[in-house]
Amino acid sequence: MAELQALLFDVDGTLADTEKDGHRPAFNMAFEEAGLDWHWDEALYGELLAVTGGKERIRFYLEKFNTDFQKPENFDEFVKGLHAAKTRFYTQLMAEGKIPLRPGVEKLINEAKEAGMRMAVVTTTTPENVTALLDNTLGKGSESWFEVIAAGDIVPAKKPAPDIYIWALEQMNLTADEAIAFEDSRNGILSSVAASLKTIITINDYTKDDDFSDGILVLDQMGDENNPFTVLAGNAFGKTYLDLALVKQIHAA
């Protein structure tokens, strides 16, 4: 087995509970601003998460849940405009400090940075959303800690397609066995595993019932010294939180 060279992080749901606390309310704020009577509650949003990508999610909503809506002639621009407004509101929520990182995330990233471990972000969310999250949680300039930001429409096929992971690995000149992925959802692990990456899962309320049988380790959270994780599947070698030493041990197993 090759030595671990890089950590590849998904964003939404993995680094922070952005879906529930950020994206969903931001979508609703965009709908209200546009004069639409749409409202995505937590249950509906859970169903919409079957589709990755914000613009794609709006289209899915109209195809499956709001079929009576009369689409405007410039429908593509309408969707892009809604999504741009949603990104603006999301950034605003981030700046207000309303979306903290999940337990153990900051500790692991800081430890990896100090150890010189290469890192990348691999996500379907927009680059603006990535910057907003990192700036408002890890601090201004923290985006530079990540060698590659693979985000948004950088590849046409979004997760569960493996394209975004394959692209990130190519940019870093790495093979799949030299990296490990961190995901939180079924679409995420389908993407990472299809790119031949070992994957650690931290579930959340939206994804707790997903099939993660391909995950090398499934946890409720990354955890820290005062807030231990619960192992749902896999071998954590008796540890109680995810640090770089455990990640290396999992990768080598």
Give catalytic residues, as residue numbers. Answer: 10, 12
Residue 136 in tokens: 């408002």
**How many Cβ atoms sit within 10 Å of the Cβ of residue 208?**
11
Give the residue among 177, 188, 230, 236 at the shortest CA–CA distance from 211: 188
Using the structure block, give the residue that is written with the tokens 């995901």. 183
- H or E element in which residue 121 lies: strand 118-122
**Side chain identity, residue 169:** L
**CA–CA separation, 151 and 148 (whole Å):** 9
**How many Cβ atoms sit within 10 Å of the Cβ of residue 80?**
13
**Side chain identity, residue 9:** F
